[in-house]
Amino acid sequence: MSASSNTGVSRLASPPAPGTSPFVNTLLGEERSASLHRALDGLDAQTLQWLSGYIAGLAARAPLSAPTAVPTPAPQAVPETVLTIVYGTQTGNSRLLAERLQRQAEASGLKTRLLRTGEYPVREIQKERLLYVVISTQGDGDPPDDARGFVDFISSKRAPRLEQLRFAVLGLGDTSYPKYCEVSRALDARLTELGAKRWVERADCDVDFEPVAAGWLDQAVAKAKEALVPQDTGSVVMLPRNSPAAAPAFGRDAPYTAEVLTNQRITGRGALKDVRHIELSLGDSGLSYEPGDSLGIWPENPPALVEAFLSELRLEGSAELTRDGRTLPLKQWLETELELTRLSRPFLERHATLSGNADLQAILAPGGGEKFRALLASHQIIDVLRAWPAAWNAQELVRALRRLTPRMYSIASSQKRVGAEAHLTVAECV
């Protein structure tokens, strides 16, 4: 039978007999519905049409009363046994942590579903029971591009009351920005305002997110187990992905040493900017990427900058120092482990105390917003050490500087075309 003849059949089919229609049963009750069925049984089409007009006339004359409530189906709640994890990311850090959260939760016997903020149907939030959000702050305190719709909806007047919801927020940011973790802070506050219950205290992570994030993930999974009944992870559940992504062999914490295949200047000789086309081999790392992904490169600090630190602070590069259970000479900490360029508020606050300088302390005081912003934009750490000298001891310095983190570059190639390579376009900053 063709599709069109099927359509014809369904148009001519009789409506369900009143007594068998769940809608009529709900409206009239079972007894009246059965009487109606008996009264109409066997009537021809013409009589039925006349009756429908007659009933419409009765309805027009009847006093207007509150319409009988026709129960609408209750919104389908996301099962109480499911933890929904949503992440908003620009350069992939929040995704890494969200995937880790999913792996840990599933290993504890919990059902999860993991979605990008951009693919999360925002209106579903009113059916959600347990929602964890991992989200970074970008721009000048803005959400990642992909998370704009999600954040805008929750911040807007259209957002529903969320009394049924338990939630937790993990924020990613950078203390060298004036609006540190603005998005996670605002989201956490707004969800509470909408009546949702904060199930785990929010944590905000600086660029070296590992220490804070690791503790938060453990706590978040333990709390999720309190809220949800652990399930046999083998059973069926509505998950957009079939199973949590396995931890990749190489990644942020296990970097791959890639060979540089090409490093070619693409700006003309006379051009002021030195822009380069770089091709990296991904070899047999198994690393894969999608259009729009970023590649993280672990940098090392230039030896001249390390020497400048040592001489400015009058410290010995050979001094053995410990941080996070690792002991290395100061020179090595400065060369390969610690951030020596971008300022952060915690470092500046400690430096202001050590230097005892009133000007610097004023810049950091609550009213010094614009000056603080200007300082971050115009100074690197070495400039601050020179402008406001302070007596740092080596151990305290190693603890106060932030860990080096990968520099993120947008990938300029498609893996479909270049296979196990990644191409970047990089401009030298001077």
Ligand X SMILES: Cc1cc2nc3c(=O)[nH]c(=O)nc-3n(C[C@H](O)[C@H](O)[C@H](O)COP(=O)(O)O)c2cc1C
Out of 24, 78, 101, 181, the only residue in the binding site for ligand X (CB under 6 A) is 181
Out of 172, 306, 315, 338, the only residue in the binding site for ligand X (CB under 6 A) is 172
Judged on CB neighbours under 10 Å (0-12, 13-18, 19+), 392 is buried
Query: Smallest gap, in angstroms, from Cβ of residue 368 to ligand X?
Result: 18
CA dist., res. 267 & res. 93, Å (int): 32
Q: Which residue stretch of 132-140, 263-271, 303-311, 390-398 sits at the interface with ligand X (rule: CB under 6 A)?
A: 132-140
CA dist., res. 401 & res. 386, Å (int): 16
Q: Is 173 in the site for ligand X (CB under 6 A)?
A: yes
CA dist., res. 30 & res. 34, Å (int): 6
Binding mask 258-287 for ligand X (x = CB under 6 A): ------------------------------
Q: Which of residues 58-117 bind ligand X (CB under 6 A)?
A: 89-94
Tell me the C-alpha to C-alpha distance, in Å, between residue 344 and each of 4, 23, 299, 361: 69, 64, 18, 14
Out of 18, 19, 143, 144, the only residue in the binding site for ligand X (CB under 6 A) is 144
Q: Is 381 in the site for ligand X (CB under 6 A)?
A: no
Q: Which is nearer to ligand X, 90 or 413 (CB)?
A: 90
Query: Smallest gap, in angstroms, from Cβ of residue 245 to ligand X?
Result: 16
Out of 174, 208, 279, 339, the only residue in the binding site for ligand X (CB under 6 A) is 174
Q: Which is nearer to ligand X, 187 or 330 (CB)?
A: 187
Out of 32, 127, 179, 423, the only residue in the binding site for ligand X (CB under 6 A) is 179
CA dist., res. 208 & res. 220, Å (int): 19
Structure tokens at 47: 């009589």
Query: Smallest gap, in angstroms, from Cβ of residue 418 to ligand X?
Result: 23
Q: Is 140 in the site for ligand X (CB under 6 A)?
A: yes
Q: Which residue stretch of 18-26, 159-167, 178-186, 271-279 sits at the interface with ligand X (rule: CB under 6 A)?
A: 178-186
Q: Is 180 in the site for ligand X (CB under 6 A)?
A: yes
Q: Which is nearer to ligand X, 252 or 371 (CB)?
A: 252
Q: Which is nearer to ligand X, 174 or 279 (CB)?
A: 174
Q: Which is nearer to ligand X, 24 or 172 (CB)?
A: 172
In 10 A of CB 87, how many CB atoms?
A: 29
Structure tokens at 263: 């490093």
Q: Which residue stretch of 46-54, 136-144, 313-321, 411-419 sits at the interface with ligand X (rule: CB under 6 A)?
A: 136-144
Q: Which is nearer to ligand X, 15 or 292 (CB)?
A: 292
Q: Which is nearer to ligand X, 43 or 214 (CB)?
A: 214
Contact 376, 178 (CB under 8 A): yes
Q: Which is nearer to ligand X, 18 or 144 (CB)?
A: 144
Query: Smallest gap, in angstroms, from Cβ of residue 216 to ligand X?
Result: 14
Q: Is 139 in the site for ligand X (CB under 6 A)?
A: yes
Binding residues with ligand X: total (CB under 6 A): 22
Strands 82-88 and 203-205: unpaired
Judged on CB neighbours under 10 Å (0-12, 13-18, 19+), 53 is exposed
Query: Smallest gap, in angstroms, from Cβ of residue 183 to ligand X?
Result: 8
Q: Which is nearer to ligand X, 33 or 175 (CB)?
A: 175
Q: Which residues bind ligand X (CB under 6 A)?
A: 89-94, 136-141, 144, 172-174, 177, 179-182, 207
